[in-house]
């Protein structure tokens, strides 16, 4: 298996503005409010794993019977694909793009 680590967790909210405010004021973090990543799942949460060798992983998961979405999205951040667990929860798999000297991945100054 080529999962490297946990990426992110996504959750739908009954009152997004109130929940966003709680995270900002209580924990000092600004959660994302875009839930398009859930579609087409109707589940209230989703998770993301950072992976290596995404095409190989997708092939292996399909062979094991996992429901794998047909599309893979590639952009400046890397490659993204989606699978579902047995209860229909959407799982995002992300293989980061190789390092490039761009604004999105410039190393922090020491």
Where does the pLDDT of residue 17 fall: very low under 50, low under 70, confident under 90, or very high at 90 and above?
Answer: confident
Alpha-carbon gap, residue 36 to 78, rounded angstroms: 18
CATH number of 1-9+43-110, picked from 3.40.50.2300, 3.40.91.50, 3.10.180.10, 3.40.50.1390: 3.10.180.10
Alpha-carbon gap, residue 52 to 79, rounded angstroms: 10
Mean pLDDT in residue range 53-68: 91
Q: List pLDDT tens digits, range 18-49.
A: 766 766 776 566 666 665 656 666 666 677 88
Alpha-carbon gap, residue 58 to 100, rounded angstroms: 25
Where does the pLDDT of residue 77 fall: very low under 50, low under 70, confident under 90, or very high at 90 and above?
Answer: confident
> Is residue 92 within 8 Å of residue 48, measured between CB atoms?
yes
Question: 66 or 40: which carries more pLDDT confidence?
Answer: 66
What is the pTM (predicted TM-score) of this model? 0.65
Nearest alpha-carbon partner for 23 in 37, 9, 7, 36: 9
Residue spans per domain, the chain: 1-9+43-110
């Amino acid at each position: 298996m080529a999962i490297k680590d946990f990426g992110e967790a996504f959750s739908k909210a009954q009152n997004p503005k109130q929940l966003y405010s709680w995270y900002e004021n209580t924990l000092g973090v600004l959660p994302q409010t875009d839930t398009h990543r859930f579609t087409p799942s109707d589940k209230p949460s989703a998770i993301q794993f950072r992976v290596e060798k995404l095409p190989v992983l997708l092939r292996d998961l399909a062979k094991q019977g996992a429901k794998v979405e047909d599309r893979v999205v590639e952009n400046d951040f890397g490659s993204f694909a989606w699978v579902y667990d047995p209860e229909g929860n959407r799982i995002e798999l992300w293989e980061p793009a190789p390092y490039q000297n761009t604004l999105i991945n410039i190393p922090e100054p020491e």
